[in-house]
Amino acid sequence: MNAKHILSATTLVVLATFLPASNATADNSVNCEAYAQEAIKDAKEAKARGCGFTDSLWSLDYNGHRNWCRLDNIKMANLTWADRARKEGLQQCKDKSDAHFKNHRNREKGCLAYAKKAVKLDAEIRDNCPSNNAWPQQLKAHVDWCMKKGGAQYAHIENIKRTGIIAGCRLDVQKAKLAQTKIFPDSGKVSARRKRPLPVDVCMRKFNRDNSWFLGLGGGMTDVPFGNDCGRSVATAFCITKGYVEAIEAPVKTYDRGRDMDGLLASTYWIGSKKACHGKCAGFQYIKCKGKL
């Protein structure tokens, strides 16, 4: 008999050893074609799932299963045992493969989330770190790398590193901006009635309870009343209006209408107010601001 189409003699001996004992007379109730078809069906599924079964129960030889079934000493109980053994083995393989597939899908979902974040951070690195030579990768490349590393829980550290790179670049940019300085000559605003800017007064305008107001330094006042805001704080307020953090230089100069301001009325103006100081007034010669906002 052709060995390609039947189970080997060794296989039959092994099966006979472990199968339940039976009388040595044929059992006319068995359907060997149906048995062989079911055996092949289970064996094919086991192979497709990669179960790795190698014994004769999982042979893909249809004639082998059918011819074994036709042996005189094979009863329905023998067929039932063999069929149950395949079903139980296949179910165990299914449970294992399903769990593996579920874990694989969960890993893919985690890596996709990681990859989307990585692509976004790569774009931020490109925008914030012009000197960075790292070329951003495509989404699929990030996913594949993550899967090879074992999942998002292992790849997540890379996005933390990217966040650190961005923060460092932004800090460098901010430091560079904070180091910027600019000098504003005559420090003030342009008036329609003047040929050049009107200087900022050293003090802010203050009111008395009777609505009279202080001219600030100069203008006949030698003592600055308590609470009057003067000096560097006023210069810094001016710098803030120009988009800088603070004033680092603000020398004071006395302005008198008719001498320094082309003979036109007001001498200085109070920052934050449309009012001007007339007569002899103390204003800033220039204001040097630092720290671009």
Which pLDDT score is estimated for 214? Answer: 47
Partners of residue 280 on adjacent β-strands: 256
Helix (H) / strand (E) containing 288 = strand 286-292
Strands 268-269 and 276-277: antiparallel
Task: For residue 265, give both structure tokens.
Answer: 């009325």
How far apart (Å, rounded) are the C-alpha atoms in residues 234 and 250? 10
Which pLDDT score is estimated for 93? Answer: 85
How far apart (Å, rounded) are the C-alpha atoms in residues 127 and 134? 12
Task: For residue 201, give both structure tokens.
Answer: 């007064």
How far apart (Å, rounded) are the C-alpha atoms in residues 116 and 113? 5
Q: What are the extents of the domains in the chain? A: 9-98, 103-177, 181-292
Q: What is the pLDDT along the chain (293 residues), one digit of tens a residue?
A: 333 333 333 343 334 433 444 444 445 667 899 999 999 999 998 888 788 888 889 999 999 999 999 998 989 999 999 999 999 988 888 877 777 778 888 888 999 999 999 999 999 998 888 777 776 788 999 999 998 888 888 888 999 999 999 999 989 888 888 899 999 886 655 555 555 677 888 887 654 455 444 444 433 333 344 445 778 888 888 899 889 999 999 888 887 765 444 445 677 887 766 677 777 788 888 899 999 98
Which pLDDT score is estimated for 153? Answer: 86
Handedness of CA 31, 32, 34, 38 (dihedral sign): positive
Contact 136, 121 (CB under 8 A): no
Which pLDDT score is estimated for 248? Answer: 92
How far apart (Å, rounded) are the C-alpha atoms in residues 283 and 200? 5
Which pLDDT score is estimated for 47? Answer: 86
